[in-house]
Amino acid sequence: MTKRALITGGAGFIAHHLIGQILKNTDWDVVTLDRLDYSGNLNRLHDLMLSFDPEVRKRVKIVHHDLKAELNPLVRSEIGTVDYVLHLAAGSHVDRSIEYPMEFVLDNVVATCNILEFARTQKDHLERFVYFSTDEVFGPAPNGIKYKENDRYNSTNPYSATKAGGEELAVAYENTYGLPIYITHTMNVFGERQHPEKYIPMCIKRIRDGETVTIHSDSTRTIPGSRHYIHAEDVASAVLFLLNYEGEFEPAWGNAKCPKFNIVGSEELNNLELAQIIAQAQGRELNYDLVDFHSSRPGHDLRYALCGDKMKELGWVPQKSVRERIAEVTKWTLENERWITL
C-alpha cells in the first residue's frame, strides 16, 4: 500500500524541496498543510510541479490551515491517514521574532502542540514524526566548538527560544504518549526559490546590480561571521535517509528517547567567502563593507556551528560541495530573476 506523508509548511522554502525529493525518489503520496503567508508561496509548488508529469502531480494534495488553531474534523478528514508527519511549518525570520515575539510563540510552540495532537490520532499507523529544528537553539559557537545533538540550549532570540520550546514538546510527546519522533537540526539552508530577503538571494541581487554587499563581522570589522551553509536538497536527502534507515541508533546520553540529528553542510564558510563565490559565479566584482552587525543588533550571533559526525557515521553526507551548490544556485537565480524581485 502506498505510503502517505503529511508535510506542514509545504509551500515554504525547505518543504517544497522536500516534496520534490519525495516525488523523485519514492512512490509516496504527499499532503501539504499551509496557511500561505509571507513565507508560504504557492508559486514554489507550482514551479516545482511543472517539472513532473501529470500523473506524479496527482500525488500531491494541498490543504489550507493555520496551525495556530487545532485541526478540526474537516481538516483532519481532508488529510486522512498518514504514515509520516514532517513538521516544517514555522516562523523563521530572526528579525521578525525580535519585533513580534508572541507571533513566534504561537507559530512555533502552539502550532507544534497542535500538530503533535493530530499525530496522536495517527498513532496506530504513524511510522515517524520529524520535527525540524535549528542550530540556533544552541546559541553562538566559540571558535573551535561545534555543537552535538544533545548539547545544552542557549537561545539568543525569540525565534531560537520558540524552536527549542517546540523541540521539548516533541520530546515530551514521545516520553508521554509514545510517539515515534526524530528531531533534526539544520543551519543556513539555501537553494532555488528562497525568500529574497534571505542572505544568499540578497547577495546575488546586489552583486548583479553592482551594489555594496554588507558582510557581518566582529566588533573589529576584520573577522566575518561564519556558517555551515547547506542546500535544501541535501536537507531533504538526509531526511529521506533517516526515514529509510533500518539500523539501530546508539542511545543518547542518559538513554534519552527522541533521537536527534544534525544535518550539516560540507564545510564552514565565512560570509565574505560566500559573497566571493557568488561574485565569481557571476563574473562580477565584489563590492563589500564589513559591518559590526552583531554587536549593534541583539539576537544575532557571529558564528553558528554544528557537528555532523553522527550523520556521517550513519552513512549520509551532502551530495555536492557547498561551493558547487552556491555557484549552481547563483546561475539558476539569474536565469529565474523573478525569485529575487518578488
Question: Which class is 195-226+268-301+321-340 in CATH?
Answer: alpha beta
Residue 135 designated active-site: yes
Q: Is the pLDDT of residue 164 over 90?
A: yes
Confidence grade of residue 267 (pLDDT, cut at 50, 70, 90): very high
How does pLDDT run across 239-266, given as a tens digit for each residue? 999 999 988 877 665 567 889 999 999 9
Q: Which residues contact residue 261 at a Cβ distance below 8 angstroms, ignoring those fewer than 6 apart?
A: 149, 182, 183, 184, 185, 238, 242, 310, 311
Give me the catalytic one of 29, 34, 136, 268: 136
Instruction: Give the Cβ contact number of residue 5 at 10 Å.
Output: 23
Q: Is the pLDDT of residue 144 over 70?
A: yes
Give me the catalytic one of 84, 147, 159, 182: 159
Residue pair 5/244 in contact by the 8 Å Cβ criterion: no
Q: Is the pLDDT of residue 307 over 90?
A: yes
Give me the catalytic one of 135, 149, 192, 234: 135
Q: Is the pLDDT of residue 289 over 80?
A: yes
How does pLDDT run across 22-69, given as a tens digit for each residue? 999 999 999 999 998 766 788 999 999 999 999 999 999 999 999 999
Residue pair 97/157 in contact by the 8 Å Cβ criterion: yes
Residue 182 designated active-site: no
How does pLDDT run across 33-42, given as a tens digit for each residue? 999 876 678 8
Indicate the SS3 state at residue 213.
Answer: strand
C-alpha cell of 135?
542550530
Residue 248 designated active-site: no
Residue pair 124/144 in contact by the 8 Å Cβ criterion: no
Residue pair 218/291 in contact by the 8 Å Cβ criterion: no
Strands 60-64 and 288-291: unpaired
C-alpha cell of 126?
504513524
Q: In the chain, where does DSSP find H-type helix?
A: 13-25, 42-49, 54-57, 73-79, 94-99, 101-105, 111-121, 158-177, 199-208, 232-244, 271-282, 293-296, 309-314, 322-335
Instruction: Give the Cβ contact number of residue 246 at 10 Å.
Output: 4
Residue pair 140/303 in contact by the 8 Å Cβ criterion: yes
Which residues are bridge partners to 61 per DSSP?
31
Does domain 4-189+228-263 fall under CATH 3.40.50.2000? My reply is no
Confidence grade of residue 297 (pLDDT, cut at 50, 70, 90): low
Domain ranges of the chain: 4-189+228-263, 195-226+268-301+321-340
Q: What is the pLDDT of residue 254?
A: 58
Q: Which residues contact residue 332 at a Cβ distance below 8 angstroms, ignoring those fewer than 6 apart?
A: 192
Residue pair 282/207 in contact by the 8 Å Cβ criterion: yes
Type of residue numbered 191: G
C-alpha cell of 296?
549593534
- What is the rounded CA–CA span in Å between residue 76 and residue 92? 26
C-alpha cell of 246?
533500518
CA 216 centroid distance within chain: 22
How does pLDDT run across 187-221, given as a tens digit for each residue? 999 999 999 989 999 999 999 999 999 998 888 88
